[in-house]
Amino acid sequence: MKSLEELMAIKAKMADKVAVRQADGNEIRVVVGMATCGIAAGARPVLNAFVEGVTAAGLAENVTVTQTGCIGICQYEPVVEIYQKDKEKVTYVKMTAEKAQEVIEKHIKGGAVVTDYTIGAAKI
């Protein structure tokens, strides 16, 4: 059984880590649309894939995954936006958990935008 002691152990482990994480201006921000349109189109597993994928890839120090409301392009949901300082915002559309994995590998880790999944490449 997951005990509260286990939670306290995580707390102890994290106390030093939280202090280390500092804004150096190079963070990447992943924003997932989680309004009715996003949720209905399958945004929950996409969000989950980013949260778990970023952690599994050891990128959590530099990458934050957050949620937002409706971006206004409901027909393209699930929509994911990636913000990075001094770079143009990248908007990925019609995302899936599998595509999220690819974006983590190629874009967030490798620095190469996965153009096939961007809004510019999308056909409605």
Partner 1 sequence: MDEFSLYVLDITMNSVRAGADEITVSLAEDGDWLTFTVTDNGCGMSKEQVEKLSNPFFTTRKTRKVGLGVPFLTMLAEMTGGGVKITSVPEKNEDGSVNPCHGTTIQGTFGRNHLDFIPLGDMVETVKTLIQGSPEINFTYIHTFPGGHVELKCAELRAMLCEEISLAEPEILMWIGGYLEEQYAGTEEA
Site residues, partner 1 (CB under 8 A) = 1-2, 4, 6-8, 10-11, 13-15, 18, 34-37, 39-40, 44-45, 47-48, 51-52, 54-55, 60, 65-67, 69-72, 74
Q: Which is nearer to partner 1, 57 or 113 (CB)?
A: 57
By C-beta, is 2 or 123 nearer to partner 1? 2
Residue 115 CB, nearest approach to partner 1 (Å): 25
Instruction: Give the pair of three-digit tokens for residue 89.
Output: 């915002």
Question: In one letter, which amino acid is 110?
Answer: G
Q: CB 89 → partner 1: shortest distance, Å?
A: 16
CB closer to partner 1 out of 60 and 113:
60
Shortest spacing between CB 86 and partner 1, in angstroms: 26
Distance, CA of 90 to CA of 44 (rounded, Å)? 20
- Distance in Å, CB of 51 to partner 1, minimum: 6
Phi, psi for residue 4 in degrees, rounded to 5: -70, -25
Q: In angstroms, rounded to a whole number, what is the distance separating the alpha carbons of residues 84 and 91?
A: 12
The answer to whether 85 and 25 are in contact (CB under 8 A) is yes
Please state, in angstroms and rounded to a whole number, the distance separating the CA atoms of residues 7 and 89: 37
